[in-house]
Amino acid sequence: MNWRTLPMPRLLLPLVLGIVIGDCWRVSWQEFQQWYYWSFGGIGLLFLALAFRPDFRARAWFGGLVFLVLLCLGFFRIEQSQQWNRAPHFSWQTVGDSCSIWGKVLEARPAANSFRVLLKVKAKTALGEKKWQPATGELLAYLKVDTGQITPQSGQHLYLSGLIDTVKPPLNPDAFDFRAYLARQSVYHQLFAPMGAWRIDSIHQDLPLTLVLQAFCLKVLEKHLPSGDTYAVGAALIMGERSQLSQEIKQAYSNSGAVHVLSVSGLHVGVLAIVLRFLFGWFGQNKKAQKLGLLLELGSIWLFTLLTGAAPATLRAAVMFSMIIGARAVVRQYNIWNILAASAFSLLCWQSNLLWDIGFQLSYLAIAGIVAFQPWIYERWSAPNAVLDYIWKLTSVGIAAQLSTGPLSIYYFHQFPMFFWLSGLVAVPLSGLVLMLGLSLFLLEALNIPAEWIGHILSWSIQLLNGLIVAIHELPQAVISGFWWNGWATLGMYGALTLVCVALYRRKLRWLNMALALLLVWALAQWPGIFRAQNQRQLVCYHVSKASLLDLVQGSEVLALSTADTLPELMAAQNHRFRMHLKKEQHLDWQSSFRWGRVALQSGCLLFGKHKIGMVGENESPPLPPYDYLLVHHNPRIYPEDIPKGTKLIILDGSNRFGTRRWIKRLADELDIPVHDTAEQGAWVLNL
């Protein structure tokens, strides 16, 4: 492969580099404007100089100029998306203040004890004022909903009032950073609106056609599919609607390596494109008929993309197939690497924050891996018949995709599905069948043609898919978890994969030797962390709402004192346990008495090395003093005489109500004792 025949990957590189630099180097709005004019002014002068003195020897200067232009383009596009602290943005001079907001609902879904809405703000006003001011930006709002109350839908407009605040960072070490996730989508603020503080605008109801069609399709699925996992998986697979999925079915698909079929992705667009190509391929040799067929293909793909929410992976596939259809329209050959890079270039110019979207990253890596490795893997074995050849082809695609996405999946999700190749043999053909049956069902229902028989086949197909995926999930060692890679380790693994890819294409042993050397360096870099884990001693009091969770760490073992359910405990502590390389885990009750190495618990007093920690909970008497720290959990009644002198710190965990926390903070303030409230300051960590 000649690098000069791949212009689009070369153009994509500086654009991505500019986005990364812009994300790491934040500038103010004034600095941004100055850099904008100076940068493009200097580039313009250089371009004029090269234009008036064309010289073949100056092509390096021209290449450098193009590189600089695209670098600046990426930098300025990401900076434009992050400039929220200027006057048009709704948060300008209103953070920490109560105000009224009016805007359009972009997303709406149920959340714990509330209804979560992503709002595109259009106007704001201070409470008590009648004058509305134009505003911009996006706001995450949590609405308190009464039983039977009508909830907002995407496309509707909403009035709401409340206190605008910045999104809070994670409260537990190494937990998922929801604030950073939202910031990548240019969402920095949130608002909690109680009942009576929000209402739907009944006047402005400009629902787009795609949302009307989406609602129709979901009603068709409700009509023909039984409730529960069958409907939930059907709605997710066909329409990208994931709000009805249970935690158990999501876990089964995730552990089996088939979670990508639970959201409309490039796989679905690819299946649709193949079917459309087959249907419209009968238009004959007439050029006008062929162009009509290509337009119908293109329109159908984009209608499906918009209908299913236009997720990053779906957008990638839609742009790619649009370019392929365009190349077919002018009867030109195309290079898949150029098409792949051109689609990424177009999407990043349109929305630079897509670079940080997990679906966007995994989608492009999967396609790149399939293009790079699948032909080589497929050629390793020649199947004796067509059936085995089809199975081997699907398996080789799955292996290639897992090679390229595996390191990033481990970085984000800290696990690896061992039977991804088996789930691929099940999920790929069945998800394609479900998609085609679902689209056929929508078409027949729209035409008022009886389609109960398709509904039955669709229901049976989804149930078969669910059953097989759950069976794979229940196989021994179906998933290996506990990985913890940092960003550099992930980049090192992709560097080794890139060198292996170059070795396969150039057939040079030195590239393979370089890949092996890089893998050796990568492995050696992991050993210091593993050795440090053997001698670590740590106590962690996590924040879990309405529950208590305490981890006592010695070496690679952890003893957990927990009153939390399994899922909240995993969300709070699992990532930190992975990073600490903890291999052995044991659970005990808070009322237990034990001795474990340098740790002991008896009569509400915890000895952790040289530290003594008193623990008091509901209906419990404070432990006998003295102790260094007092851990308060589950709303005990505490009076000033219960807190001994010499207490260094009072810790309040997430099991305490707001009133309890406020009372104890008042007592601590009178006694001049500092307080660590996990609800505000995050988990409390004590290292030996």
Give the number of C-alpha atoms closer than 13 A to the C-alpha of residue 277, restricted to the C-beta side: 12
Q: Is the pLDDT of residue 29 over 90?
A: no
Q: Decide which of 450 and 278 is more confident.
A: 450
Which residues make Cβ contacts (< 8 Å) with residue 675, sequence separation at least 6? 649, 650, 651, 652, 664, 665, 668
Q: Is the pLDDT of residue 663 over 60?
A: yes
* 200-214, 594-608, 628-642: range with lowest mean pLDDT: 200-214
The distance in angstroms from the start CA to the end CA of the chain is 56
Predicted confidence at residue 466, as pLDDT, reads 92
Angle among Cα 113, 119, 121 to the nearest 5 degrees reads 140
Predicted confidence at residue 140, as pLDDT, reads 92
Q: Which two tokens stand for residue 242?
A: 């994931």
Cα 390 to Cα 379: distance, rounded to the nearest angstrom: 13
pLDDT, tens digit, 9 for 90 and up, residues 559-572 = 999 888 888 888 89
Q: Which two tokens stand for residue 291?
A: 């162009």
Write down the pTM of the prediction. 0.86
Predicted confidence at residue 677, as pLDDT, reads 95
Q: Is the pLDDT of residue 650 over 90?
A: yes
What's the chain's average pLDDT? 84
Neighbours of 163 (CB within 10 A): 15
Q: Decide which of 504 and 35 is more confident.
A: 504
For residues 260 and 359, the answer to whether their CB atoms sit within 8 Å is: no
Per-residue confidence band for 632, with pLDDT thresholds at 50, 70 and 90: very high
Instruction: Reduce the DSSP state of residue 102 to 3 states and report it.
Output: strand
pLDDT, tens digit, 9 for 90 and up, residues 231-276 = 999 988 888 888 788 888 988 988 888 888 887 777 778 878 877 7
**Is the bond into 626 cis (omega within 30 degrees of 0)?**
yes
Instruction: Write the CA distances from 90 to 53, 286, 304, 386, integer angstroms.
Output: 49, 55, 33, 61
Neighbours of 295 (CB within 10 A): 13
Instruction: Reduce the DSSP state of residue 554 to 3 states and report it.
Output: strand
Backbone φ and ψ of 648, nearest 5°: -80, -35
Q: Decide which of 268 and 435 is more confident.
A: 435
- Torsion, Cα 95 96 102 105, to 10 degrees, reads 80
pLDDT, tens digit, 9 for 90 and up, residues 365-415 = 988 999 889 999 998 888 888 889 888 998 998 899 999 999 999 999 888
Crossing angle of the two packed helices 358-378 and 386-413, in degrees rounded to 10: 140
Predicted confidence at residue 55, as pLDDT, reads 58
Which residues make Cβ contacts (< 8 Å) with residue 89, sequence separation at least 6? 83, 135, 136, 137
Instruction: Reduce the DSSP state of residue 393 to 3 states and report it.
Output: helix
Give me Rg for the CA atoms of the chain.
Answer: 29
Predicted confidence at residue 275, as pLDDT, reads 79
Per-residue confidence band for 624, with pLDDT thresholds at 50, 70 and 90: confident
pLDDT, tens digit, 9 for 90 and up, residues 288-316 = 777 777 788 888 888 888 887 777 777 77
Predicted confidence at residue 305, as pLDDT, reads 83
Burial grade of 212 (CB within 10 A; 0-12, 13-18, 19 or more): exposed
Cα 135 to Cα 104: distance, rounded to the nearest angstrom: 12
Instruction: Reduce the DSSP state of residue 193 to 3 states and report it.
Output: strand
Q: Is the pLDDT of residue 508 over 90?
A: no
Predicted confidence at residue 637, as pLDDT, reads 86
**Residue-wise burial string across 68-79, b where 16 or more C-beta atoms lie within 10 A, e elsewhere:** bbbbbbbbbbbb
Predicted confidence at residue 39, as pLDDT, reads 66
For residues 276 and 296, the answer to whether their CB atoms sit within 8 Å is: yes
- Comparing CA positions, the residue from 206, 119, 189 lying closest to residue 155 is 206
Section 530-551 average pLDDT: 90
Section 524-532 average pLDDT: 85
Q: Decide which of 43 and 224 is more confident.
A: 224
Q: Is 672 left (phi over 0), alpha (psi -120 to 50) or beta?
A: left
H-helix segments, 281-413:
287-307, 312-329, 336-350, 358-378, 386-413
Q: Is the pLDDT of residue 595 over 90?
A: no
Most confident of 86-90, 195-199, 663-667: 663-667
